[in-house]
Structure 1
Amino acid sequence: MSNIGMIIEERSRDIGDFLVGRLIPFRKKRMIGPFIFIDHMGPTQLGPNTYMDVDQHPHIGLSTLTYMLEGEIMHEDSLGTQQLIKPGSVNWMTAGKGVSHSERTPEHLRNGQTFTAHGYQIWVALPKHLEDMAPEFYHIAAADLPKWRESSAEFTLVAGRGYGQSSPVPVHSPLFMVEVKNTEAFELNVNGDLKGEIGICIVEGAITACGETVEKGHILVSKVEDTCDILLRPHSHLLLFGGEPFEEERHIFWNFVSSSKEKIEKAKTDWQRKTFPMMENDKTYVPLP
């Protein structure tokens, strides 16, 4: 595989009643551009007795990007935010020096019916000079994201810059996340349209790249400058993500990301002592592992 540096297979893990597939970090590839963590949530059936309830937990040194394909999640955080996220919209929370949040199935879906939950929970590391910034939260509606079409393929720029477009998600470093869906076979050429390292996440369908066919549930890792053309099989669904990598190494422990091991140790101590920024109306608490 001359231009594809690596293929990463999704590894499943169970978080209570919710099955997620971990894509990165991977032991041989810790980051793709500034993207340091990607969990694939579902697709899974929830209700009438099983729901998503991720209790209050902390973050530092990163931004979380939640992108749902099916189902809804209620986000609440220590900034006082309460925001329902629906398919196609973006929740973008920058933890900076410290934030706590929870993610739950909203009350209106706890009605005895079953529904599908399917989405991606993504962490983007912050540049070193912004790791201690004040936390922020933004919600961007699906209608506000740039969308365009090329023959049988539909594109959405979820975050960052790419293909001459700019997303309103307020990112903190040069990056991109693009969703691509096609109905018929489609040749995707990313040369000159995306800058930096690139990950190709196959949500549905399959692609052929550099003479190799790869099915859903995998990420291909490449460098845009070297990448070959990508042939999407009919009815495929991709997420392209990546960007300019940082010069400094990033450390990750649990929900904490930083260029400084000392900052991670302090965050661990603050969380254990409950001196970390906490939510006012949520007394749940996920212990430090």
Structure 2
Amino acid sequence: MSNINIIIEERPANIGNFLVGRLLPFRGKRMVGPFIFIDHMGPALLKEHQNIDVGPHPHIGLSTLTYLFEGSIMHRDTLGTAVEMFPNQVNWMTAGKGIVHSERTPEYLRHSDKRLHGLQIWVALPKELEDMTPAFYHAEADEIPSWETDGVSYKLIAGEAFGHKSPVPVYSKLFLLEIKSPTTQTISIGDDLFGEVGLYILEGSIESEGNIYEPKRILVAQNSQLCQFTIHANTTIYLFGGEPFPEERFIYWNFVATSQAIIEQAKQDWKEDRFPRIEGETDLVPLPPEIPNVRMKS
């Protein structure tokens, strides 16, 4: 019996003036551990007249993780944070009871060609922390634990795994791990993982149980303890997952919550301008037209 339970392929999604590849949520698998949303941004060449301008928009009940392979993004939020992030750094923003942020092309790049490529990820908060005070953490590239085993490079972007711990302040048991190999290797890591496990192939390919899997798809394991595969030469993958929550999650636009009532309150608060404002920014992203709420359960 195959240990691969579900295969999720990227689907195009439009986030304004930028097309991304949506990986989670997926109709057959809404969450993997606490991970509830993953977008693959790019790779994209933005011309001198093209810029990222995601205006002020709200979040509740989750932490966002941004990780870039190429380019840079200027992040501002209602905590007073203003930071430009670069490749291999981590932006970890915890919304809790409510935060507003914007993401834009930095001013000095707005009139030149530039590239952008990376991952944007949402991690749901535990029920007891979904109303916590918002927080923001920026990790420099050299703060992220990295090591090499048998010629394979590992980087622990968030959480705990293989006896290492990322400085990113997560709020539940999880892991987000980058694995790169210049050569073909067999990797057996099930004993070091826990909970639910997803494997995202960014580039290259892997082989499992006689099947070859190409980029831009997620494989979800039946049993994390049986996580063994062959990684082909010049391949980059991301392992992510962790302990699932006992409660389902509702998701509407940028809001994640354990109850419909919390979602409805957040919608009303945004409509009536009760969220905090980012100093100097006024182009608020409007609440989208009413669509059915989606329930999320691992």
TM-score by length of 1: 0.97
| Aligned residue number for residue 70 of structure 1 | 70
Partner Cα separation in structure 1 for residue 282 and residue 69 of structure 2 = 30
Q: Distance in 2 between matches of 1:170 and 1:265?
A: 28
Q: Which residue of 2 aligns with 1:165?
A: 164
Q: Deviations over 1:71-92 (max 9, x none)?
A: 0001000111001111001000
Distance 1:133 1:264 in 2: 15
The match for 1:128 is 127
Opposite residue 24 of structure 1, the aligned amino acid is: L
| Structure 2: segments with no counterpart, 5+ residues | 289-298
Q: Which residue of 2 aligns with 1:28?
A: 28
In the other structure, the counterpart of 1:236 is 235
Question: When the two structures are aligned, how many residues end up with a matched partner?
Answer: 288
Kindly provide the amino acid, as one letter, of the partner of residue 129 in structure 1: E
Coordinate RMSD, CA, aligned: 1.1
Q: Give the AA of the match of 1:103.
A: E
Q: Which residue is equivalent to 2:93?
A: 93
Q: Give the corresponding residue for 1:282.
A: 281
The residue that corresponds to 2:293 in the other structure is none
1:240 match: secondary structure: strand
What SS class does the counterpart of residue 191 from structure 2 fall into?
coil
| Native 8 Å contact 2:68 2:119 kept in 1 | yes
Shift of 1:226: 4.4
Distance 1:212 1:231, change over 3 A: same
- Give yes or no for contact 1:3–1:226 (8 Å, CA) kept in 2: no
Counterparts of 1:139-178 in structure 2 under 5 Å? 139-178=138-177
Q: Which runs of 4+ in 1 moved over 2 A?
A: 14-17, 223-228
Moved more, 116-125 or 271-280: 271-280
Amino acid at match of 1:232: I
Cα 1:211–1:228, aligned 2, differ >3 Å: closer, same or farther? Answer: farther
- CA distance in structure 2 between the aligned counterparts of 1:278 and 1:211, rounded to whole angstroms: 53
Contact 2:197 2:224 in 1 (8 A): no
Percentage of identical aligned residues: 54
Equivalent in the alignment of 1:6 = 6
Paired position in structure 2 for 1:15: 15
Contact 1:47 1:110 in 2 (8 A): no
Task: Give the residue type in structure 2 aligned to 1:26.
Answer: F
Please give the secondary structure, in 1, of the residue aligned with 2:271.
helix
Change (3 A) 1:228 1:198: closer
Aligned pair in 2 of structure 1 residues 192, 228: CA closer, same or farther (>3 Å)?
A: closer
Structure 1: stretches of 5+ with no match in the other structure: none
Q: Does 1:60 align with 2:60?
A: yes
Q: In structure 2, what is the equivalent of residue 217 of structure 1?
A: 216
What residue is the counterpart of 1:109 in the other structure? 109
User: What is the Cα deviation at residue 223 of structure 1?
Assistant: 4.2
What is the deviation of 1:237?
0.5
TM-score, scaled relative to structure 2: 0.94
| Deviation sequence 1:156-190 (CA, Å, 0-9, x none) | 00000001100000000000000111100022212
Residue type of the alignment partner of 2:219? L
